[in-house]
Structure 1
Amino acid sequence: MKKRGFGVGCMWYGVGNTGLPNPAGAFVDLLDDGTVNLLSGAADIGQGSNTIMAQIVAEELGVDFDDVLITSADTGITPEGGATSASRQTYISGNAVLRAAREAKKVLVGEAAELFGAEASEIVVKNHRVYVKGKEDNAKKIQDVIASCRSKGKITIGHGWFNPNTTALESETGEGSPYGAYAFATQVVEIEVDTETGQVEVINIFAAHDVGTAINPMQVEGQIEGGSTMGLGYGLYEEIKKEDGKIKTPSFATYTIPTAMDVPTVYPIIVEDPVENGPFGAKGVGEPALIPTAAAIANAVYNALGIRIMELPVTPEKVLSQLKIKQ
């Protein structure tokens, strides 16, 4: 007999390291033709940080994404970017590149203010054009303003760095402020359990994640889908078995991970609640996408069968053992 169940898993996660210095830096050079050289230490290991950094700079400087050439994670020329871990790069390196872009932009805006006879606070830089707020018809090309800067020996370059404001945990009370931002999420899974074999199949995952601001919604959805799949493996399949200090599951023949055939339909739900100190309000979504899934699966098993599996993964053997005890 097959029974269906639903389970909920919730989490909150501190973005970055725990109450430790956690800095990143960046350099931005706005070139004569309106393109940008960006140097960032953030290592893109497939999660898409290069895209995010370029988007942040393009948005701030009023140029196209394709106009930003990023050099990243080159220890010979890029500044410190910190580890690509702890769901921190969008939040921390993103802030660093935003600050660098703003410093370069100050030179451009200052020159435009002189050319237009306006206050710097009135200058708008957008879509490769520079103009006084409310007077878009009288805009100048960004290249023309840069040329004016060059004629006066002004270099439109900026550097920036960011280190979140944290306080280490006090050893006796545990009090402190260990993170500069927190991610929140709730996932609901729908499962089907075969009571004869103990096999659990996840049918759907509904994953709602507060990401602050989704700088690249498609990438955020991809992170949620990928993290949920990792959580599926954690909840149902993956188990390191040891004997006498030796790992007995050293290969994918014995250490089971989800395949394409195992992945359910994942419904990513992006919740945007901008965090005040994030780049354009953004914060991390890497590990938060993984964390709630296994708990939601275990809760769904309880909902379907009335049994509690207290140790992951939720294998058929464990399900059948608990069903036998229940009977």
Structure 2
Amino acid sequence: MKKRGYGIANMWYGIGNTANHNPSGAFVDILDDGTAIVLTGCADIGQGSTTVLAQIAAETLGINIEDVVVVAADTEVTPDAGATSASRQTYVSGNAVRLAAENACEQVLAKASEELNIQAEKLSIYQGQIWVGDNPSGVMIKEIITKCRSEGVLTLGHGSFDPVTTKLDSETGQGIPYATYAFATQVAEVEVDTETGIVEVKKIVAAHDVGKAINPQSVEGQIEGGCSMGIGYALFEEVVVKDGEIQGPGMSTYLIPTAMDVSEVYPIIIEEYEASGPYGAKGVGEPALVPTAAAIANAVADALGIRLYELPLTPERIIAAIKRN
């Protein structure tokens, strides 16, 4: 017999490293032709940080993303950006790149102020040209940079960001270990075969507060990937150690979900502006994984009327629990 069940799980997750200094630095160089180079130590390991940092730089500089080149994770030339961990790079390195781009813009606008005889506070850069309030001045950024170069002025900006935290008090245990938090709710629908013990995840709906989705497609991909990993954690992955040796050291024996095992995932992006984040953004990497296994376990409990307390929920454990009850 196959039984359906539904489960829900909620989570909150601190972005960054707990109550430690967590800085990131960046350089932004506006070149003679109005394009820009971003130097950042941020390592993109598939999460899409290089694209996001290019977007942040382009938005701040007022140029097209196609005109931004990101040089990332080259320890010979890029400043330290900290580890690609703790769901921190968009938040921390994103702020560093934004500040570096703002610093570079200040130099351009200072020169534009001299040329146009208009206060720099009234000027901005948009679509590659200088704007006065809401109106284009007709002066391209390239013209201002040419003037800068003729006077020996470099349009190179630098920026760094270290989230504000407070270490935990040794006596009270109180503090502010993270500058911001991510929140999420996931709902899982499962089908449990009571004869074989096989659990099939039919659907996951995942709602995540990401601050501001700088790249919505990337955010959806992160959520879908996290849910896929969560299915593996809930149903397949188990490290068995005997006499100090891992018994399943290869991918043939350590099981992870395949495309046939992953359910439909419906990501829902919740945008709750984070004032300390770059353009309101915060992290979504690990939060996408955190509630999935709990939601699946709750759904299995709903289907069977039996609560299991050990992961993964293998067929053997499912059948054993049914027999005990």
Q: Tell me the TM-score normalised to structure 1 length.
A: 0.97
Cα separation, 2, equivalents of 1:24 and 1:63: 23
| CA drift at 1:46 | 1.2
Asked if 1:60 corresponds to 2:60, the answer is yes
Aligned to 2:160: 161
Asked if 1:182 corresponds to 2:187, the answer is no
| CA drift at 1:148 | 2.2
Aligned to 1:51: 51
Aligned residue for 2:167, secondary structure, equals: coil
Asked if 1:194 corresponds to 2:193, the answer is yes
Contact 1:132 1:139 in 2 (8 A): no
| Unaligned 5+ runs, structure 1 | none
Count of paired positions: 325
Asked if 1:38 corresponds to 2:77, the answer is no
Aligned to 2:4: 4
What code does the residue aligned with 1:74 have?
D
Aligned to 2:120: 120
Aligned residue for 2:291, secondary structure, equals: helix
Contact 1:111 1:145 in 2 (8 A): yes
Deviations 1:234-266 (A, max 9, x none): 011000011111111111121110001101111
Aligned residue for 2:83, secondary structure, equals: coil
Asked if 1:233 corresponds to 2:228, the answer is no
Aligned to 1:215: 214
Cα separation, 2, equivalents of 1:168 and 1:211: 25
Deviations 1:14-60 (A, max 9, x none): 01100011111001100110110111000111111111111110110
Aligned to 1:90: 90
| CA drift at 1:322 | 1.5
Q: CA RMSD in A?
A: 1.0
Cα separation, 2, equivalents of 1:54 and 1:248: 44
What code does the residue aligned with 2:129 have?
R
Deviations 1:178-204 (A, max 9, x none): 111111111011111111111100011
Q: Please show how residues 144-155 of structure 1 align to structure 2 within 5 Å.
A: 144-155=143-154
Cα separation, 2, equivalents of 1:208 and 1:239: 27
Aligned residue for 1:291, secondary structure, equals: coil
What code does the residue aligned with 1:179 have?
Y
Cα separation, 2, equivalents of 1:198 and 1:135: 67
Cα separation, 1, equivalents of 2:41 and 2:297: 39
Aligned to 2:253: 254
What code does the residue aligned with 1:267 have?
Y
| CA drift at 1:108 | 1.1
| CA drift at 1:135 | 2.5
| CA drift at 1:308 | 0.6
| CA drift at 1:151 | 2.8
Aligned residue for 2:267, secondary structure, equals: strand
What code does the residue aligned with 1:40 have?
T
| Unaligned 5+ runs, structure 2 | none
Cα separation, 1, equivalents of 2:103 and 2:134: 24
Q: Tell me the TM-score normalised to structure 2 length.
A: 0.98
| CA drift at 1:9 | 1.0
| CA drift at 1:112 | 1.9
| CA drift at 1:149 | 2.1
| CA drift at 1:113 | 2.2
Aligned to 1:320: 319
Asked if 1:286 corresponds to 2:285, the answer is yes
Cα separation, 1, equivalents of 2:156 and 2:234: 49
Cα separation, 2, equivalents of 1:265 and 1:153: 58
| CA drift at 1:121 | 2.0
Cα separation, 2, equivalents of 1:132 and 1:197: 71
Aligned residue for 1:310, secondary structure, equals: coil
Cα separation, 1, equivalents of 2:8 and 2:127: 44
Deviations 1:273-326 (A, max 9, x none): 111110101110000000000000000011111111101111111111121222
Contact 1:116 1:132 in 2 (8 A): no
Cα separation, 1, equivalents of 2:119 and 2:6: 58
Contact 1:113 1:119 in 2 (8 A): yes
What code does the residue aligned with 2:81 have?
G
